[in-house]
């Protein structure tokens, strides 16, 4: 083929960098936005916070006062010289007293220097020691200013807690190694996830000299020792053993303690399936006694490892606040979520228009980036405030009456109201939280599909979930409501929902089916 050059005309959309930056900041959460702002402050000298500007202004005022004082010093010096010339020379008696004082001071210095050896028995000089003590004092002061949670830098795990107790327990070297292996096999919930047979086989193969005559009973004995450690119920192999260990640590005079231990060891599966009749027949108990045993078992902890957990709590920072002022719900942005940025005037004044040097070009480019970044943040805040205001305007009944009054609403409704695209509304409402008198909710919470009602209207799926939760909370525990019965009750209120939809909503809320919600009384 013959190569040739051709010109073509076409149209295509290109997104400028400023718009790309605005879209990227719009979809960031509050924590991600704070990190983005901090990175911009570290990389761009033209950006500064309003707090930094105020501190620089406060520091500049004492400097100006010192400059004014120094400018007045020549006149003060000349007047001092004129005043000194008016004094007479001191008398001889005064000179003699001064000489005596100087001799006394010199003799005291000589005596003190004689007591101090020339070479100290240390490997550091005076300057190093003084500087180290000063730094340690300042570090201690800074540590006191830190929050209480930051003092615990090393988090203790369940294995660390058990090994600490093991070191305080007298054991032979062989039992010590077995105990360490058992502790390594305990998961974060406190259960032993490795069988003793596997441990015995491992020790016989790897440590043949020490475990030549080892038996399973020896591992069982070490396991029982560990099961007495804190937290109660640790190192259990199943739920029944975990509960029975905790029951055995209760006072011996606890009512129905023997029957409770028997239930946990032998009939825990019947309790899980709520076969109360079979339990009463096996244990030879009456209904009030079985109810007392179940109440005692429910007071135990099925996950003993949860007492010592290394998971950190995650806090939600709301982006907007909703308040009722003079009978009207108002929305305001959280000013503490992001700092107030501005242009650094000191560096901006250094820019010269007609200068094309490298330093001037560097300042110009960073000044333009700083302006774009500040404008993108302002656009993000305006969009977030506009969308949040529309949500509250449409869902004001939720704030007044609760989730049952939630109205059906989709992204398209808000997009038409604020004249934006649905993708923009989706970015604004993702990982953004609203602080209301009823709690903190993600903006996505206020959007839900609708279900038709008998009168031709529509009901929100969030409101239907709230009604289902309310019905189940008020049900008779001996005869819980089935999904079919809940659908009939909703149909009586004019909400037509299928039984499978009720089951889907119930599972989404983490509510067990009717057979698992059944109680004795």
Three-class SS of 171-202: CCHHHHHHHHHHHHCECCCCEECCCHHHHHHH
Distance CA 481, CA 484 (A): 8
What pLDDT is stored for residue 210 in this prediction? 61
Q: Decide: 263 and 285 in contact? Cβ < 8 Å.
A: no
Report the mean per-residue pLDDT for the chain.
80
Specify which residues 450 forms β-bridges with: 460
Question: How do strand 320-325 and strand 433-436 relate by DSSP bridges?
Answer: parallel
Residue 85, pLDDT above cutoff 50: no
Cβ-count burial 135-160 (b if 16+ within 10 Å, e if not): eeeeeeeeeeeeeeeeeeeeeeebbe
pLDDT in tens, 339-356: 788 898 888 888 877 678
**Domains of the chain, CATH where assigned:** 17-58+317-388+412-444 (no CATH), 158-307 (no CATH), 448-521 (1.10.10.60)
- Where does the pLDDT of residue 9 fall: very low under 50, low under 70, confident under 90, or very high at 90 and above? confident
What's the rounded mean pLDDT across residues 432-459? 86
* Strands laid side by side in the 439-442 sheet: 328-333, 320-325, 433-436, 439-442
Which pTM was predicted? 0.65
What pLDDT is stored for residue 91 in this prediction? 46
The more confident residue out of 312 and 475 is 475
Helices (H) and strands (E) in the chain, counts: 23, 8
pLDDT in tens, 246-289: 999 999 999 999 999 999 999 999 988 888 889 999 999 998 99
What pLDDT is stored for residue 301 in this prediction? 93
What pLDDT is stored for residue 79 in this prediction? 44
Distance CA 197, CA 234 (A): 19
Q: Which helix (H) or strand (E) holds 343?
A: strand 341-343
What pLDDT is stored for residue 351 in this prediction? 83
Tell which residue, 418, 352, 432, has the closest CA to residue 387.
418
**Is-cis flag, bond preceding 185, omega within 30?**
no
Question: How do strand 458-460 and strand 450-452 relate by DSSP bridges?
Answer: antiparallel
What pLDDT is stored for residue 116 in this prediction? 46
- Where does the pLDDT of residue 309 fall: very low under 50, low under 70, confident under 90, or very high at 90 and above? low
What pLDDT is stored for residue 225 in this prediction? 94
What pLDDT is stored for residue 477 in this prediction? 84
What pLDDT is stored for residue 248 in this prediction? 93
The more confident residue out of 95 and 357 is 357
Residue 54, pLDDT above cutoff 90: no
Residue 75, pLDDT above cutoff 70: no
Percent of the chain exceeding pLDDT 70 equals 76
Distance CA 40, CA 46 (A): 10
- Where does the pLDDT of residue 228 fall: very low under 50, low under 70, confident under 90, or very high at 90 and above? very high
Helices (H), 185-310: 196-206, 216-226, 239-248, 257-266, 268-272, 276-283, 287-298
Tokens of 87: 């004094």
Give the highest mean pLDDT range of 110-114, 146-150, 303-307.
303-307
Residue 90, pLDDT above cutoff 50: no
- Where does the pLDDT of residue 497 fall: very low under 50, low under 70, confident under 90, or very high at 90 and above? confident
Residue 395: how many CA atoms within 13 Å on its side-chain side? Answer: 34
What pLDDT is stored for residue 451 in this prediction? 78
Q: Decide: 263 and 283 in contact? Cβ < 8 Å.
A: yes
Rg for the chain, CA atoms, rounded: 39
Distance CA 95, CA 97 (A): 5
How many other CB atoms are found less than 10 A from the CB of residue 501?
A: 17
Residue 13, pLDDT above cutoff 70: yes
**Residue 147: DSSP 8-state:** -
């Amino acid at each position: 083929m013959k190569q040739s050059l051709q010109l073509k005309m076409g149209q295509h959309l290109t997104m400028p960098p400023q718009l790309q930056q605005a879209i990227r900041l719009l979809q960031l959460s509050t924590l991600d936005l704070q990190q983005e702002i901090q990175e911009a402050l570290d990389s761009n000298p033209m950006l500064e916070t309003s707090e930094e500007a105020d501190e620089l202004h406060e520091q500049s005022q004492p400097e100006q006062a010192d400059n004014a004082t120094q400018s007045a010093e020549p006149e003060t010096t000349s007047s001092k010289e004129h005043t000194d010339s008016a004094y007479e020379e001191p008398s001889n008696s005064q000179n003699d007293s001064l000489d005596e004082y100087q001799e006394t001071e010199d003799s005291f210095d000589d005596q003190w220097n004689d007591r101090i050896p020339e070479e100290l028995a240390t490997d550091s000089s005076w300057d190093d020691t003084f500087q180290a003590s000063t730094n340690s004092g300042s570090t201690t002061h800074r540590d006191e200013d830190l929050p209480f949670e930051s003092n615990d830098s090393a988090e203790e795990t369940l294995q660390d807690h058990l090994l600490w107790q093991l070191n305080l327990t007298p054991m032979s070297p062989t039992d010590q190694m077995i105990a360490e292996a058992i502790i390594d096999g305990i998961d974060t919930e406190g259960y032993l996830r490795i069988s003793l047979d596997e441990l015995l086989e491992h020790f016989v193969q790897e440590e043949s000299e020490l475990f030549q005559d080892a038996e399973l009973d020896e591992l069982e004995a070490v396991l029982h020792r560990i099961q007495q450690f804190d937290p109660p119920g640790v190192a259990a192999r199943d739920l029944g053993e975990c509960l029975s260990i905790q029951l055995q640590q209760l006072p011996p005079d606890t009512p129905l303690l023997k029957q409770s231990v028997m239930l946990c060891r032998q009939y825990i599966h019947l309790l899980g399936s709520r076969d109360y009749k079979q339990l009463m027949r096996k244990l030879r108990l009456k209904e009030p006694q079985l109810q007392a045993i179940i109440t005692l078992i429910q007071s135990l902890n099925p996950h003993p490892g949860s007492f010592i957990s290394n998971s950190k709590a995650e806090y939600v920072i709301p982006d907007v606040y909703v308040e009722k002022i003079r009978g009207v719900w108002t929305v305001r942005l959280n000013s503490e979520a992001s700092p107030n940025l501005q242009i650094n005037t000191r560096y901006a004044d250094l820019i010269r228009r007609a200068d094309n040097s490298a330093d001037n070009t560097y300042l110009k480019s960073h000044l333009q980036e700083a302006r774009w970044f500040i404008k993108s943040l302002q656009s993000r805040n305006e969009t977030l405030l506009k969308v949040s205001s529309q949500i509250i305007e449409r869902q004001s009944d939720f704030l007044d009456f609760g989730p049952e009054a939630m109205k059906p609403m989709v992204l398209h409704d808000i997009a038409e109201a604020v004249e934006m695209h649905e993708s923009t509304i989706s970015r604004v409402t993702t990982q953004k939280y609203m602080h209301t008198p009823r709690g903190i909710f993600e903006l996505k919470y206020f959007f839900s599909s609708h279900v038709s009602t008998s009168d031709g209207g529509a009901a929100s799926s969030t409101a239907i979930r709230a009604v289902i939760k309310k019905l189940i909370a008020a049900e008779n525990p001996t005869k819980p409501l089935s999904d079919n019965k809940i659908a009939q009750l909703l149909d009586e209120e004019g909400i037509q929902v299928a039984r499978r939809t009720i089951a889907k909503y119930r599972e989404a809320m983490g509510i067990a089916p009717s057979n698992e919600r059944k109680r004795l009384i």
